[in-house]
Amino acid sequence: MVAMYTVFGRQVGSHYLAMATLGAMFGSSYLAMRGGEKKTAQGPPINASSKDEETFIQDFLKSVQDEEAKAKAKA
């Protein structure tokens, strides 16, 4: 026989309470662990005096990132 508990004025079996507890625990753990949107790192803003200077800085940063990616791939 199942133990019965009174919840909000109704008789509820212990197995329903156990399933609800486990469901709430695992459901909330899943929601907490799945994370949010991943944002890409932008870095600090580029304060260039001309469009050519800004393009040069962006190309330089891209080349450095490419070299780092190649170094990580070899390791």
Residue 39 pLDDT > 90, yes or no?
A: no
Mean pLDDT value across the chain: 90
Which stretches of the chain are assigned E, i.e. beta strand?
Answer: 4-7, 10-13
At residue 74, the pLDDT reads 84
Per-residue pLDDT averaged across 29-54, rounded? 84
Closest CA to 2 of 10, 33, 40, 11: 11
